[in-house]
């Protein structure tokens, strides 16, 4: 199934149905998430799991585009589940859910390879849009919240210093840290979108990270990007 609809950047284009796996130890939460997501014409819940231990098998069985994952579960939590997901490759995108914005578990999940996080009190339309943003991966969810988490818990060492980014790659990373998409970065730096994609790919490789979320976490943790006062 496909249709023409605005994408996450607001540009018209063909949209396909995104497959979502929902993981939460509370049955009522899973039901609520399924109802919200299945109401969207471009989203479909293809499976559920009640614990992180079930995630690898559920991913294999359902082949989701996005795993919507509770970060705190009683047996195998979302951090361990995220590591299991990204280790398999090619892996779906991971969107972790949390009750508290300053949850340290969220930062650990982002370090483990999650692509974004969502507060459980988010409105239905915010949930649906978060799934779309994570699936397309060109912008960062809640950059201010990621900044607060990363700067509150600086990592040991400085991956940015050894990466030897070019001046232009540094410019791109600083704009990524504000949540801008490739199209928006291209406009601000007067570059083509494909050129920006090339810079993003190069800096991810130099930093040894999987995606732009991990790159932004590293940028804030190392002090390469300074939080606004």
Task: Tell me what pLDDT residue 147 has.
Answer: 78
Collapsed DSSP state (helix, strand, coil) of residue 156: coil
Radius of gyration of the chain (CA): 17
Q: 178: alpha, beta or left, given left = phi > 0 and alpha = psi -120 to 50?
A: alpha
Task: With beta carbons less than 8 A apart as the criterion, state whether 112 and 148 touch.
Answer: no
**Which residue has tokens 């994952």?**
69
Q: Which pTM value belongs to this model?
A: 0.81
Task: Give the tens place of pLDDT for each residue, 148-189.
Answer: 777 776 665 566 777 889 999 999 999 998 888 999 999 999
Q: Is the pLDDT of residue 125 over 70?
A: yes
- The mean-pLDDT minimum among 21-35, 52-66, 114-128, 184-198 falls in 114-128
Report the percent of the chain where pLDDT is more than 90.
48
Give 169 or 141, the one with higher predicted confidence: 169
34-82 pLDDT, tens digit each: 999 999 999 999 999 999 999 999 999 999 999 999 988 888 888 899 9
Measured distance CA(177)–CA(209) in Å, rounded? 15
Closest Cα to residue 203, out of 171, 158, 181?
A: 171
Tell me what pLDDT residue 198 has: 96
Residue 60: what pLDDT? 93
pLDDT value, residue 175: 93
Burial of 173-182, coded b for 16+ CB within 10 Å and e otherwise, reads: bbbbbbbbbb
10 Å Cβ neighbour count for 1? 8
CB 226 within 8 A of CB 187: no
């Amino acid at each position: 199934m496909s249709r023409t609809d605005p994408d996450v950047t607001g540009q018209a284009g063909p949209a396909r149905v995104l497959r979502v796996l929902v993981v939460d130890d509370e049955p009522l939460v899973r039901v609520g998430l399924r109802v919200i997501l299945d109401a969207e014409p471009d989203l479909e819940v293809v499976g559920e799991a009640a614990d992180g231990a079930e995630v690898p098998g559920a991913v294999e069985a359902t082949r989701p585009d996005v795993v919507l994952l509770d970060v705190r579960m009683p047996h195998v939590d979302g951090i361990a589940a995220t590591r299991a997901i990204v280790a398999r490759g090619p892996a779906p995108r991971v969107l972790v859910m949390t009750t508290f914005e300053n949850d340290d578990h969220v930062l650990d999940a982002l370090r483990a390879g999650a692509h974004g996080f969502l507060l459980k009190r988010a409105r239905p339309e915010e949930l649906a849009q978060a799934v779309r943003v994570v699936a397309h991966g060109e912008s960062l969810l809640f950059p201010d919240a990621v900044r607060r988490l990363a700067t509150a818990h600086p990592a040991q060492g400085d991956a940015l210093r050894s990466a030897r980014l070019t001046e232009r790659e540094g410019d791109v990373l600083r704009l990524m840290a504000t949540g801008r998409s490739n199209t928006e970065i291209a406009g601000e730096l007067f570059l083509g979108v494909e050129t920006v994609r090339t810079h993003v790919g190069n800096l991810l490789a130099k930093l040894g990270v999987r995606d732009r979320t991990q790159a932004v976490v590293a940028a804030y943790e190392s002090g390469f990007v300074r939080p606004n006062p």
